[in-house]
Structure 1
Protein backbone atom coordinates (compact mmCIF):
# COMPACT_ATOMS: atom_id res chain seq x y z
CA UNK A 1 0.00 0.00 0.00
CA UNK A 2 1.60 3.26 -1.08
CA UNK A 3 0.96 6.54 0.60
CA UNK A 4 0.09 9.61 -1.44
CA UNK A 5 3.00 11.98 -1.78
CA UNK A 6 2.68 15.47 -0.44
CA UNK A 7 2.61 18.06 -3.22
CA UNK A 8 5.94 19.59 -4.12
CA UNK A 9 6.63 23.02 -2.65
CA UNK A 10 6.64 24.65 -6.10
CA UNK A 11 3.26 23.07 -6.92
CA UNK A 12 1.79 24.47 -3.68
CA UNK A 13 3.22 27.92 -4.48
CA UNK A 14 1.89 27.79 -8.05
CA UNK A 15 -1.59 26.82 -6.89
CA UNK A 16 -1.65 29.72 -4.43
CA UNK A 17 -0.39 32.17 -7.08
CA UNK A 18 -3.05 30.95 -9.51
CA UNK A 19 -5.82 31.41 -6.94
CA UNK A 20 -4.65 34.92 -6.05
CA UNK A 21 -4.32 35.88 -9.71
CA UNK A 22 -7.74 34.41 -10.53
CA UNK A 23 -9.36 36.47 -7.80
CA UNK A 24 -7.60 39.64 -8.95
CA UNK A 25 -8.31 39.07 -12.65
CA UNK A 26 -11.98 38.23 -12.14
CA UNK A 27 -12.34 41.32 -9.96
CA UNK A 28 -10.64 43.53 -12.53
CA UNK A 29 -12.07 42.08 -15.75
CA UNK A 30 -15.14 40.10 -14.72
CA UNK A 31 -15.79 36.38 -14.79
CA UNK A 32 -15.23 36.15 -18.55
CA UNK A 33 -11.49 36.76 -18.17
CA UNK A 34 -9.52 34.12 -20.02
CA UNK A 35 -7.47 31.34 -18.50
CA UNK A 36 -4.46 32.64 -20.49
CA UNK A 37 -4.75 36.02 -18.76
CA UNK A 38 -5.04 34.37 -15.35
CA UNK A 39 -1.98 32.19 -16.03
CA UNK A 40 0.03 35.21 -17.17
CA UNK A 41 -0.99 37.19 -14.08
CA UNK A 42 0.06 34.25 -11.90
CA UNK A 43 3.38 33.97 -13.69
CA UNK A 44 2.78 30.34 -14.68
CA UNK A 45 2.36 28.52 -17.97
CA UNK A 46 -1.19 27.82 -19.10
CA UNK A 47 -0.44 24.10 -18.84
CA UNK A 48 0.45 24.55 -15.17
CA UNK A 49 -2.86 26.30 -14.58
CA UNK A 50 -4.77 23.48 -16.28
CA UNK A 51 -2.90 20.81 -14.26
CA UNK A 52 -4.22 22.45 -11.10
CA UNK A 53 -7.64 23.43 -12.48
CA UNK A 54 -8.81 21.47 -15.54
CA UNK A 55 -11.72 23.85 -16.18
CA UNK A 56 -12.55 27.44 -15.41
CA UNK A 57 -15.43 26.26 -13.25
CA UNK A 58 -12.92 24.25 -11.17
CA UNK A 59 -10.81 27.38 -10.73
CA UNK A 60 -13.77 29.56 -9.78
CA UNK A 61 -15.00 26.89 -7.35
CA UNK A 62 -11.58 26.91 -5.67
CA UNK A 63 -11.65 30.71 -5.34
CA UNK A 64 -15.13 30.51 -3.82
CA UNK A 65 -14.08 27.66 -1.50
CA UNK A 66 -11.21 29.78 -0.14
CA UNK A 67 -13.69 32.54 0.61
CA UNK A 68 -16.04 30.12 2.40
CA UNK A 69 -13.11 28.87 4.52
CA UNK A 70 -12.30 32.48 5.44
CA UNK A 71 -15.94 33.11 6.45
CA UNK A 72 -15.92 29.94 8.56
CA UNK A 73 -12.72 31.03 10.32
CA UNK A 74 -14.24 34.46 10.99
CA UNK A 75 -17.48 32.98 12.39
CA UNK A 76 -15.54 30.63 14.67
CA UNK A 77 -13.38 33.52 15.90
CA UNK A 78 -16.52 35.55 16.69
CA UNK A 79 -17.95 32.58 18.59
CA UNK A 80 -14.70 32.23 20.54
CA UNK A 81 -14.97 35.88 21.56
CA UNK A 82 -18.56 35.28 22.74
CA UNK A 83 -17.39 32.27 24.73
CA UNK A 84 -14.75 34.55 26.30
CA UNK A 85 -17.46 37.01 27.38
CA UNK A 86 -18.17 39.32 24.46
CA UNK A 87 -21.78 40.31 23.74
CA UNK A 88 -23.36 37.87 21.19
CA UNK A 89 -25.45 40.45 19.32
CA UNK A 90 -22.41 42.70 18.91
CA UNK A 91 -20.35 39.80 17.56
CA UNK A 92 -23.13 38.65 15.22
CA UNK A 93 -23.60 42.17 13.86
CA UNK A 94 -19.85 42.70 13.46
CA UNK A 95 -19.54 39.35 11.67
CA UNK A 96 -22.34 40.31 9.29
CA UNK A 97 -20.61 43.62 8.58
CA UNK A 98 -17.24 41.97 7.93
CA UNK A 99 -18.70 39.45 5.48
CA UNK A 100 -20.55 42.19 3.61
CA UNK A 101 -17.39 44.32 3.39
CA UNK A 102 -15.32 41.35 2.23
CA UNK A 103 -17.93 40.56 -0.42
CA UNK A 104 -17.92 44.18 -1.56
CA UNK A 105 -14.15 44.34 -1.92
CA UNK A 106 -13.76 40.81 -3.33
CA UNK A 107 -16.24 40.93 -6.15
CA UNK A 108 -14.48 38.03 -7.83
CA UNK A 109 -16.19 35.61 -5.50
CA UNK A 110 -19.67 37.03 -5.99
CA UNK A 111 -19.47 37.66 -9.72
CA UNK A 112 -17.81 34.37 -10.58
CA UNK A 113 -20.09 32.21 -8.47
CA UNK A 114 -23.22 33.83 -9.88
CA UNK A 115 -22.08 33.78 -13.48
CA UNK A 116 -20.58 30.32 -13.69
CA UNK A 117 -22.73 28.56 -11.14
CA UNK A 118 -19.68 27.37 -9.22
CA UNK A 119 -20.36 25.97 -5.80
CA UNK A 120 -17.78 25.73 -3.02
CA UNK A 121 -16.22 22.30 -3.03
CA UNK A 122 -15.55 22.01 0.67
CA UNK A 123 -18.78 21.21 2.47
CA UNK A 124 -16.85 20.99 5.75
CA UNK A 125 -16.14 24.74 5.66
CA UNK A 126 -19.78 25.52 4.89
CA UNK A 127 -20.77 23.34 7.85
CA UNK A 128 -18.20 25.04 10.12
CA UNK A 129 -19.54 28.47 9.20
CA UNK A 130 -23.16 27.41 9.69
CA UNK A 131 -22.44 25.80 13.05
CA UNK A 132 -20.60 28.85 14.37
CA UNK A 133 -23.30 31.26 13.16
CA UNK A 134 -26.00 29.04 14.69
CA UNK A 135 -24.14 29.09 18.01
CA UNK A 136 -23.83 32.90 17.83
CA UNK A 137 -27.57 33.16 17.21
CA UNK A 138 -28.39 30.79 20.10
CA UNK A 139 -26.12 32.76 22.44
CA UNK A 140 -27.90 35.98 21.45
CA UNK A 141 -31.27 34.34 21.91
CA UNK A 142 -30.23 33.07 25.35
CA UNK A 143 -29.27 36.63 26.29
CA UNK A 144 -32.70 37.78 25.11
CA UNK A 145 -31.25 40.12 22.47
CA UNK A 146 -31.66 38.10 19.27
CA UNK A 147 -35.24 37.43 18.18
CA UNK A 148 -36.29 33.78 18.72
CA UNK A 149 -37.19 33.23 15.07
CA UNK A 150 -33.79 34.27 13.62
CA UNK A 151 -32.00 31.41 11.83
CA UNK A 152 -28.74 30.81 10.01
CA UNK A 153 -30.71 30.99 6.75
CA UNK A 154 -31.83 34.50 7.72
CA UNK A 155 -28.19 35.56 8.09
CA UNK A 156 -27.39 34.00 4.69
CA UNK A 157 -30.39 35.84 3.21
CA UNK A 158 -28.97 39.09 4.53
CA UNK A 159 -25.59 38.28 2.95
CA UNK A 160 -27.24 37.62 -0.41
CA UNK A 161 -29.21 40.88 -0.36
CA UNK A 162 -26.47 43.17 0.92
CA UNK A 163 -25.70 46.22 -1.23
CA UNK A 164 -22.16 45.07 -2.03
CA UNK A 165 -22.09 47.22 -5.18
CA UNK A 166 -22.78 50.39 -3.17
CA UNK A 167 -20.21 52.65 -1.45
CA UNK A 168 -19.09 51.92 2.13
CA UNK A 169 -21.49 54.51 3.57
CA UNK A 170 -24.46 52.74 1.95
CA UNK A 171 -23.28 49.36 3.25
CA UNK A 172 -22.93 50.80 6.75
CA UNK A 173 -26.41 52.29 6.52
CA UNK A 174 -27.78 48.92 5.34
CA UNK A 175 -26.27 47.23 8.40
CA UNK A 176 -27.82 49.91 10.65
CA UNK A 177 -31.22 49.30 9.05
CA UNK A 178 -31.18 45.48 9.13
CA UNK A 179 -29.73 44.96 12.60
CA UNK A 180 -32.97 45.85 14.44
CA UNK A 181 -34.72 43.07 12.52
CA UNK A 182 -32.51 40.58 14.31
CA UNK A 183 -33.33 41.86 17.77
CA UNK A 184 -36.13 41.34 20.25
CA UNK A 185 -36.42 45.06 20.97
CA UNK A 186 -37.29 46.02 17.39
CA UNK A 187 -40.26 43.74 16.77
CA UNK A 188 -42.78 41.50 18.41
CA UNK A 189 -43.03 37.80 17.67
CA UNK A 190 -45.22 37.13 14.65
CA UNK A 191 -48.44 35.27 15.37
Structure 2
Protein backbone atom coordinates (compact mmCIF):
# COMPACT_ATOMS: atom_id res chain seq x y z
CA UNK A 1 0.00 0.00 0.00
CA UNK A 2 1.41 3.42 -0.94
CA UNK A 3 1.97 5.87 1.87
CA UNK A 4 -0.41 8.80 2.05
CA UNK A 5 0.83 12.21 0.99
CA UNK A 6 1.35 14.65 3.85
CA UNK A 7 -1.49 17.09 4.37
CA UNK A 8 -1.12 20.70 3.25
CA UNK A 9 -0.72 23.09 6.18
CA UNK A 10 -4.31 24.39 5.94
CA UNK A 11 -5.70 20.85 5.65
CA UNK A 12 -3.65 19.76 8.68
CA UNK A 13 -4.99 22.73 10.68
CA UNK A 14 -8.55 21.88 9.68
CA UNK A 15 -8.07 18.24 10.62
CA UNK A 16 -6.75 19.24 14.06
CA UNK A 17 -9.66 21.67 14.57
CA UNK A 18 -12.12 18.94 13.60
CA UNK A 19 -10.54 16.38 15.96
CA UNK A 20 -10.49 18.87 18.85
CA UNK A 21 -14.10 19.89 18.23
CA UNK A 22 -15.23 16.28 17.88
CA UNK A 23 -13.58 15.36 21.19
CA UNK A 24 -15.26 18.29 22.95
CA UNK A 25 -18.67 17.76 21.32
CA UNK A 26 -18.69 14.02 22.00
CA UNK A 27 -17.70 14.65 25.63
CA UNK A 28 -20.45 17.25 26.01
CA UNK A 29 -23.25 15.61 24.00
CA UNK A 30 -22.38 11.94 23.62
CA UNK A 31 -22.05 9.78 20.53
CA UNK A 32 -25.25 11.08 18.96
CA UNK A 33 -23.84 14.56 18.34
CA UNK A 34 -24.28 15.41 14.69
CA UNK A 35 -21.56 15.94 12.13
CA UNK A 36 -23.06 19.39 11.40
CA UNK A 37 -22.61 20.37 15.06
CA UNK A 38 -19.03 19.12 15.06
CA UNK A 39 -18.24 21.05 11.86
CA UNK A 40 -19.77 24.22 13.31
CA UNK A 41 -17.79 23.83 16.54
CA UNK A 42 -14.61 23.34 14.49
CA UNK A 43 -15.36 26.42 12.39
CA UNK A 44 -15.25 24.46 9.13
CA UNK A 45 -17.80 23.68 6.45
CA UNK A 46 -19.48 20.31 6.80
CA UNK A 47 -18.05 19.37 3.39
CA UNK A 48 -14.56 19.90 4.80
CA UNK A 49 -15.36 17.59 7.68
CA UNK A 50 -16.64 14.90 5.30
CA UNK A 51 -13.55 15.24 3.07
CA UNK A 52 -11.43 14.34 6.07
CA UNK A 53 -13.86 11.84 7.61
CA UNK A 54 -16.42 10.31 5.22
CA UNK A 55 -18.35 8.64 8.08
CA UNK A 56 -18.84 9.40 11.75
CA UNK A 57 -17.15 6.13 12.65
CA UNK A 58 -14.05 7.34 10.77
CA UNK A 59 -14.09 10.55 12.80
CA UNK A 60 -14.49 8.77 16.14
CA UNK A 61 -11.73 6.31 15.25
CA UNK A 62 -9.46 9.26 14.44
CA UNK A 63 -10.32 10.95 17.75
CA UNK A 64 -9.53 7.74 19.64
CA UNK A 65 -6.28 7.27 17.68
CA UNK A 66 -5.31 10.90 18.41
CA UNK A 67 -5.99 10.37 22.13
CA UNK A 68 -3.98 7.14 22.11
CA UNK A 69 -1.12 8.89 20.28
CA UNK A 70 -0.99 11.57 22.98
CA UNK A 71 -1.16 8.89 25.70
CA UNK A 72 1.64 6.94 23.98
CA UNK A 73 3.78 10.09 23.66
CA UNK A 74 3.45 10.69 27.39
CA UNK A 75 4.21 7.09 28.31
CA UNK A 76 7.19 6.91 25.96
CA UNK A 77 8.54 10.11 27.54
CA UNK A 78 8.12 8.44 30.95
CA UNK A 79 10.09 5.41 29.73
CA UNK A 80 12.83 7.72 28.42
CA UNK A 81 13.06 9.40 31.83
CA UNK A 82 13.90 6.00 33.36
CA UNK A 83 17.30 6.26 31.66
CA UNK A 84 17.95 9.53 33.51
CA UNK A 85 17.26 8.03 36.94
CA UNK A 86 13.53 8.42 37.32
CA UNK A 87 11.79 5.59 39.19
CA UNK A 88 9.15 3.60 37.29
CA UNK A 89 6.69 3.84 40.19
CA UNK A 90 6.97 7.66 40.13
CA UNK A 91 6.31 7.63 36.39
CA UNK A 92 3.33 5.30 36.83
CA UNK A 93 1.88 7.60 39.50
CA UNK A 94 2.40 10.64 37.24
CA UNK A 95 0.73 8.79 34.35
CA UNK A 96 -2.28 7.93 36.53
CA UNK A 97 -2.54 11.57 37.70
CA UNK A 98 -2.45 12.78 34.09
CA UNK A 99 -4.99 10.18 33.03
CA UNK A 100 -7.35 11.29 35.80
CA UNK A 101 -6.99 14.90 34.71
CA UNK A 102 -8.23 14.08 31.22
CA UNK A 103 -10.47 11.11 32.06
CA UNK A 104 -13.86 12.77 31.64
CA UNK A 105 -13.38 13.70 27.98
CA UNK A 106 -11.42 10.56 27.18
CA UNK A 107 -14.01 8.25 28.76
CA UNK A 108 -16.77 9.94 26.76
CA UNK A 109 -14.83 9.42 23.54
CA UNK A 110 -14.14 5.78 24.41
CA UNK A 111 -17.85 5.27 25.14
CA UNK A 112 -18.75 6.86 21.80
CA UNK A 113 -16.26 4.60 20.02
CA UNK A 114 -17.85 1.53 21.60
CA UNK A 115 -21.36 2.77 20.79
CA UNK A 116 -20.47 3.40 17.15
CA UNK A 117 -18.38 0.26 16.71
CA UNK A 118 -15.22 2.30 16.10
CA UNK A 119 -12.07 0.40 16.92
CA UNK A 120 -8.49 1.71 16.82
CA UNK A 121 -5.95 -0.22 14.79
CA UNK A 122 -4.17 -2.64 17.15
CA UNK A 123 -0.75 -2.03 15.56
CA UNK A 124 -0.93 1.75 15.83
CA UNK A 125 -0.88 3.96 18.91
CA UNK A 126 -2.55 1.29 21.04
CA UNK A 127 0.52 -0.92 20.59
CA UNK A 128 2.76 2.01 21.58
CA UNK A 129 0.71 2.52 24.77
CA UNK A 130 0.88 -1.19 25.59
CA UNK A 131 4.63 -1.42 25.01
CA UNK A 132 5.46 1.66 27.08
CA UNK A 133 3.14 0.72 29.95
CA UNK A 134 4.53 -2.83 30.04
CA UNK A 135 8.06 -1.37 30.18
CA UNK A 136 7.10 0.83 33.15
CA UNK A 137 5.49 -2.12 34.95
CA UNK A 138 8.44 -4.48 34.37
CA UNK A 139 11.00 -1.83 35.33
CA UNK A 140 9.05 -1.06 38.50
CA UNK A 141 8.97 -4.75 39.32
CA UNK A 142 12.71 -5.06 38.63
CA UNK A 143 13.29 -2.05 40.93
CA UNK A 144 11.30 -3.85 43.64
CA UNK A 145 8.71 -1.04 43.81
CA UNK A 146 5.83 -2.53 41.81
CA UNK A 147 4.21 -5.70 43.12
CA UNK A 148 5.33 -8.74 41.12
CA UNK A 149 1.79 -9.81 40.20
CA UNK A 150 0.75 -6.47 38.65
CA UNK A 151 -0.04 -6.81 34.94
CA UNK A 152 -1.17 -4.69 32.04
CA UNK A 153 -4.65 -6.19 32.50
CA UNK A 154 -4.66 -4.72 36.03
CA UNK A 155 -4.03 -1.28 34.54
CA UNK A 156 -6.95 -1.75 32.17
CA UNK A 157 -9.15 -2.53 35.18
CA UNK A 158 -7.88 0.53 37.04
CA UNK A 159 -8.26 2.90 34.10
CA UNK A 160 -11.76 1.64 33.32
CA UNK A 161 -12.71 2.30 36.96
CA UNK A 162 -11.04 5.74 37.10
CA UNK A 163 -13.30 8.41 38.56
CA UNK A 164 -14.29 10.31 35.44
CA UNK A 165 -16.37 13.47 35.97
CA UNK A 166 -15.06 13.91 39.52
CA UNK A 167 -13.19 16.75 41.15
CA UNK A 168 -9.51 16.87 42.01
CA UNK A 169 -10.08 15.79 45.63
CA UNK A 170 -11.80 12.60 44.44
CA UNK A 171 -9.01 11.94 41.94
CA UNK A 172 -6.37 12.43 44.64
CA UNK A 173 -8.28 10.09 46.96
CA UNK A 174 -8.55 7.46 44.21
CA UNK A 175 -4.77 7.60 43.74
CA UNK A 176 -4.21 7.35 47.50
CA UNK A 177 -6.30 4.18 47.53
CA UNK A 178 -4.99 2.63 44.30
CA UNK A 179 -1.23 3.23 44.40
CA UNK A 180 -0.56 1.08 47.48
CA UNK A 181 -2.20 -1.86 45.71
CA UNK A 182 0.37 -1.58 42.93
CA UNK A 183 3.40 -1.37 45.20
CA UNK A 184 5.38 -3.88 47.18
CA UNK A 185 4.96 -1.61 50.22
CA UNK A 186 1.17 -1.66 49.95
CA UNK A 187 0.57 -5.39 50.32
CA UNK A 188 2.46 -8.61 51.04
CA UNK A 189 4.12 -10.59 48.26
CA UNK A 190 2.70 -13.80 46.82
CA UNK A 191 2.59 -16.78 49.13
CA UNK A 192 3.98 -20.16 48.19
TM-score by length of 1: 0.90
Could you tell me how far 1:89 is from its partner in structure 2? 0.9
Counterpart of 2:89 in structure 1 is 89
CA contact (8 A) 2:18 2:39 kept: yes
SS in 2 for 1:148: coil
How do 1:20-169 residues align onto structure 2 when only pairs under 5 Å count? 20-121=20-121, 123-169=123-169
CA distance, structure 2, for counterparts of residue 77 and residue 163 of structure 1: 25
CA distance, structure 2, for counterparts of residue 33 and residue 10 of structure 1: 25
Counterpart of 1:19 in structure 2 is 19
TM-score by length of 2: 0.89
CA distance, structure 2, for counterparts of residue 111 and residue 178 of structure 1: 23
Structure 1 stretch 21-30 or stretch 74-83: which is displaced more? 21-30
CA distance, structure 1, for counterparts of residue 17 and residue 157 of structure 2: 32
CA distance, structure 1, for counterparts of residue 33 and residue 191 of structure 2: 47
CA distance, structure 1, for counterparts of residue 46 and residue 99 of structure 2: 32
Distance 1:75 1:186, change over 3 A: same
Could you tell me how far 1:72 is from its partner in structure 2? 0.4
CA distance, structure 1, for counterparts of residue 3 and residue 178 of structure 2: 51
Unaligned runs of 5+ residues in structure 2 are: none
CA contact (8 A) 2:23 2:105 kept: no
Query: What is the aligned residue count?
Result: 190
CA contact (8 A) 2:103 2:163 kept: no
Q: What's the C-alpha RMSD, in Å, of the aligned pairs?
A: 2.0
Distance 1:105 1:45, change over 3 A: closer
